[in-house]
Amino acid sequence: MRKEEARALQPVKEEDLYAMRFLSDPRVSPDGKWAVYVESRADKDKNGYTRHLRLVNLETGKDQPLTSGKSDSAPRWLSDTKVMFTAGKDRTGAVDGSSGEETNLYVIDVQGGEAELYRKVPLKLQEVHVLPDEALIGLHTADVSEEEKPQSLKDGEEEPLKAVRGKDYEVFDEVPFWFNARGITNKKRRQIARVNLDGSVDTMTGRFTDVVAWDLSPDKKRAAFVGRTYTDMEPRISGLYLLDLQSGKTMELVPQEKWSIGCVIFLDEDTLFYTALEDERRGLNSAYCLCHLENLKEDESGSGLEMGQAMDMLPFPDNDPMGGVGTDCLYGGGQKMKACGGNLYFTLNVRSQAVLVKMDRKGAVTAVDDKEGAVAAFDQEAGSTVVLAMRDMHLAELYRLDETTGEETPLTHRNDDYIASHRIEKPETFTMKDRDGVMLEGFVIKPAGFEKASAGQTFPGVLEMHGGPKVAFGPVFHHEMQVLSSKGYFVFYTNPRGSSGRGDAFADINGKLGTVDYNDFMDFTDEVVKRYPALSEKKIGICGGSYGGFMCNWMIGHTHRFAAAASQRSISNYVTKLLCTDIGVPYNMPQIKADPWSDPEKVWEVSPLKYAPNADTPTLLIESDEDYRCYQSGAIQMFNALCENGTPARLAFFHGENHELSRSGKPQNRVLRLKEILGWFERYLKEKPAD
């Protein structure tokens, strides 16, 4: 940015969350003339988010509001001009007084006029599609337990004089029994449900099968789905199935025996693409596979497919599809994979970027859009490609992509005023080699006041660490980092070994947590200290969540070089991480290559709690009571151990939030969280606390 501008710019503040507009879920009309998307804003007073649809005319470039609801989402084109979307309670009103177990679908014509109720469905349906016979199909979470079901009470009806499941108690008879952001999931299964025109509902998948991914065939006569069938322990592996929507018959394509299948999509009527991972390679990159349905025999008995036809493995790409780059400024999802013109388009992490690529049927991958930053979602219809991307330190906006030139044209400017009026600092980048000769990318955001600093003036700094560990940070707008920079901190980050975008050789730290990754952070910090003399080495804080919280807890027990820590949704004891969380058994156990019976010493070796007695770094722990990923036991054990030391410690414990607090938590809580982090660093990293 130019210096004369800088003077007038506003610092980025915690409350700026309320000024930002979060775009998501772009969808292009079948004729390629329109794009509809969702715009969300944090509502301070309601302490929630409002969402409505906006529309871009791809011919004129005009961007305008489409719906005026408070909670309109999931737009899907029914024709060239009609958009179906899921409406919230604001639109349906309180008339029904229901428990939220229903779905209201509205339709709006982009040529004008208000939205009208299209279909009212008596259950909560997600990922809804309209079938040729106008029946709806979607994913529904069903309670398949044999336990007594809670009764829904009618008006004036008295509650039964006994304990009620779901209200007074829960029954757990399988593992996992809860799941982050979904709550208690014991004997809950995501099922493909068909809602007929008369309102009747047909469940299309097995009672105990949890549908983890699915896709409709282009002619909408069949569905392919990835399912896990279990009644006691959720298996790591899953099966691939083909569902005939007319007959209701299911055929097994890949049995639930050996593979964990990640995603599935129809490339055309007769070809499925899916990713598959052998159980023993848990946590590493998946194989890309095709399944040729044209060879399917009408056979009652089995799949009717030879193994090679069900699993035609493409060259190993060593990179999982549908990547992204870490930020706290994306709200709402979007499409990350789509079959277009015989090719498969998807987002992919390449080092610290998330790029859009296409893959042909031989598995050859070429970049479609690999500009600096991150593609968060995209859509393509009739030759019009629209990407939702974070470019040039902007918040996510829509861009039209010219595939032949690779040029992007901005379609939306929803945050241009905010970005232009605030001091946004772009990270400087460098590459370095760690002690093992592995190249690392470094990012450094300079502090406010850096340009005008007097000779010898130093600034405190914060090392930010991402979660995962198999994700990546990149050169994109990150609210928390910009707030820190605005308050006068250097902010620096890297993607250490274990991160995504660089293949298995780089990502595979299974059994090595806290060793090579820790070394990379130390080497990186040394390098930043060397390159930036204005960074005060004695005033460096560390900050991270999830795996980043694990690393904070680990670091304070292994080095005294840091002056403060903000450890969020963290892990301290792998015994409770393995046995109390949603992904403990399937994911964390292979990750640490040990369990409490085969190798208790190793489980303890990798637990930061073991080293807590060494810690003297003032540490802020942030935790949420519905975080079933990194359960509260992690932060609580660490906090009490630090108190035992006499180490300054603070536990900020949020109610009604989960692992996503920093990304999609209630807005006031997100602001409070940022203030907690800022407050802690101000106290321990600044010579004189700023006002």
Partner 1 sequence: MKKKITSQTLLDLRFVSNPSFSPDGRLAAFCVQRADIRKNGYTSDVYLLNVEDKSVRRLTAGGDASSYIWTKEGKILFSAKRTEEDKKTPKPDENGKDAEKTVYYEIDPSGGEAVKAFELPLSATGIRAVDKDLYVVEAVQNNGESLKNRAYEIIEESPFWFNGRGFTHGLRGNLYLYRRSSGELMSLTLPYFDASLLDVEGNRILFSGAYWRKGLSYQFPALCVFDIETRKTTEIIPKDKVPFYSASFWTEGKVMVPCPEEGANPGMANPKFYVFDIADGSRTLLKDYDRSIGDGSVGSDARLGGGRGHKRAGDDFYFLSTLDESSRLMKINMATGEITGPLTGEGSADSFDVCGGHTLVCGMYGDDVAELYLDGEKVTHFNDELMESLDISTPEYQEFTNSDGIMIHGYVMKPARYTEGRKYPCILHIHGGPLTVFGSVFHLEMQQWASAGFFVIYCNPRGADGRGNAFQDICNKYGTIDYQDLMEFTDEMLRRFPDIDETRLGVTGGSYGGFMTNWIIGHTSRFKAACSQRSIANWVVFEHTSDIGYSFTKYHQGARTRENVEQLWDHSPLKYADKCTTPTLFIHSDMDKRCWMADGLSMFTALKMHDCPARLVLFHDETHELSRSGKPRNRIKRMDEITAWMKKYLASEEEEA
CB of 507 to partner 1, least distance (A): 26
* CA atoms of 13 and 468, how far apart (whole Å): 27
Span of 133-141, 419-427, 467-475, 642-650 interacting with partner 1 by CB under 8 A: 642-650
Confirm if 120 and 100 have CB atoms less than 8 A apart: no
Alpha helices, DSSP H only, in 581-631?
589-592, 600-605
Residues shown for the chain: 691
Q: Is 654 in the site for partner 1 (CB under 8 A)?
A: yes
Task: Collect all residues with Cβ–Cβ distance below 8 Å to 50 and sequence separation of at least 6.
Answer: 40, 41, 43, 70, 71
| Least Cβ distance, residue 564 to partner 1 (angstroms) | 15
557 near partner 1, rule: CB under 8 A: no
CB of 672 to partner 1, least distance (A): 6
How far apart (Å, rounded) are the C-alpha atoms in residues 70 and 275?
A: 37
**Which of 388, 400, 377, 403 has the alpha carbon at shortest distance from 58?**
400
Q: What are phi and psi of 478, to 5 degrees?
A: -135, 115
State the nearest-atom distance from the C-beta of 158 to partner 1, in Å.
9
Least distance (Å) between residue 159 CB and partner 1: 9
Nearest Cα to 352, choosing from 266, 466, 504? 466
Contact pick of 102, 430, 636, 663 for partner 1 (by CB under 8 A): 636
User: How far is the CA of 105 from the CAs of 86, 218, 459, in angstroms?
Assistant: 5, 22, 53
Coil vs helix vs strand at 252: strand
Q: What is the 3-state secondary structure (H, E, C) of 42-53?
A: EECCCCEEEEEE
**Concatenated DSSP letters of 300-338:** SSS----HHHH-EEPP--SS-BS-----S---S----EE
Nearest distance from C-beta of residue 141 to partner 1, angstroms: 20
Q: With respect to partner 1, which residue has the nearer C-beta, 447 or 584?
A: 584
Return the residue of 254, 376, 463, 652 that touches partner 1, per CB under 8 A.
652
Query: Any contact of residue 646 with partner 1 (CB under 8 A)?
Result: yes
- Whichever of 379 and 595 has its CB closer to partner 1, that residue is 595
> Counting contacts by CB under 8 A, is residue 162 touching partner 1?
yes
Of 328 and 657, the one with the shorter C-beta distance to partner 1 is: 657
Select 255 or 596, whichever has its Cβ closest to partner 1: 596
As given in the structure block, the two tokens for residue 568 are 């969020």
- Which residue, 329, 244, 280, 343, is CA-closest to 504? 280
669 touches partner 1 (CB under 8 A): yes
Residue 650 is a binding residue for partner 1 (CB under 8 A): yes
As measured in angstroms, the least distance from the Cβ of 580 to partner 1 is: 5
**Using CB under 8 A, which residues numbered 350 to 409 contact partner 1?**
none
Nearest residue to 612 via CA among 586, 640, 587: 640
Name residue 190's amino acid: R
Give min distance, CB of 21 to partner 1, in A. Answer: 24
In 269-417, DSSP assigns E strands to 271-278, 287-292, 312-313, 337-340, 343-350, 353-359, 365-369, 374-381, 384-390, 397-402, 407-410
Stretch that binds partner 1, among 350-358, 369-377, 542-550, 665-673 (CB under 8 A): 665-673
The smaller minimum CB distance to partner 1, of residues 386 and 615, is found at 615
- Which of 94/163 has CB closer to partner 1? 163
Query: Which residue, 456 or 646, has its beta carbon nearer to partner 1?
Result: 646
Strand partners, 193: 138, 203
Query: Which of helix, strand or coil describes residue 292?
Result: strand
Residue 228 interacts with partner 1 (CB under 8 A): yes or no? no
Query: How many CB atoms within 10 Å of residue 6?
Result: 13
Q: How far is CA 230 from CA 63, 189, 225, 466, 587, in A?
A: 47, 10, 16, 33, 17
Min separation Cβ 221 and partner 1, Å: 39
Total of chain residues touching partner 1, rule CB under 8 A? 55
Interface stretch with partner 1, choices 86-94, 165-173, 249-257, 548-556 (CB under 8 A): 165-173
CB of 478 to partner 1, least distance (A): 22
Q: Which is nearer to partner 1, 169 or 404 (CB)?
A: 169
Q: Which is nearer to partner 1, 383 or 613 (CB)?
A: 613
Q: Which residue, 430 or 604, has its beta carbon nearer to partner 1? A: 604
Binding mask 589-628 for partner 1 (x = CB under 8 A): ------xxx--x---x----xx-xx---------------
- The structure tokens listed for 399 are 């861009």
Query: 122: closest CA among 144, 95, 106, 100?
Result: 100
Nearer to partner 1 (CB atom), residue 410 or residue 648: 648
Q: Considering the complex, what minimum distance in angstroms separates the CB of residue 209 from partner 1?
A: 19
- Map residues 565-584 to x or -, x wherever contact with partner 1 holds by CB under 8 A: --------x-xx-xxx---x
Query: Counting contacts by CB under 8 A, is residue 156 touching partner 1?
Result: no
Residue 72, strand partner residues: none
Q: Given candidates 214, 225, 562, 631, which one binds partner 1 under the rule CB under 8 A?
A: 631
Least distance between partner 1 and beta carbon 498 (Å)? 25
Q: How far apart are CA 17 and CA 409, in angstroms?
A: 26
Name which of residues 169 to 198 contact partner 1 (CB under 8 A).
Answer: 169-175, 177
Q: Report CA Rg, the chain.
A: 26
Q: From the CB of 669, what's the least distance to partner 1, in Å?
A: 5
Q: Is the peptide bond before 469 cis (omega within 30 degrees of 0)?
A: yes
Cα 165 to Cα 430: distance, rounded to the nearest angstrom: 56
Among 516, 563, 641, 677, binds partner 1 (CB under 8 A): 641
Question: Is 7 a residue that touches partner 1 (CB under 8 A)?
Answer: no
SS3 182: coil
Q: Taking the complex as a whole, how short is the minimal distance between the CB of residue 172 and partner 1, in angstroms?
A: 4
SS3 (DSSP) at 426: coil
Q: Which stretch binds partner 1 (CB under 8 A): 2-10, 487-495, 549-557, 648-656?
A: 648-656
Separation of alpha carbons 493 and 687, rounded Å: 23
| 333 and 322 Cβ atoms separated by less than 8 Å | no
Binding site residues, partner 1, CB under 8 A? 161-163, 167-175, 177, 232-233, 573, 575-576, 578-580, 584-585, 595-597, 600, 604, 609-610, 612-613, 631, 633, 636-641, 643-644, 646, 648-655, 666, 668-669, 672
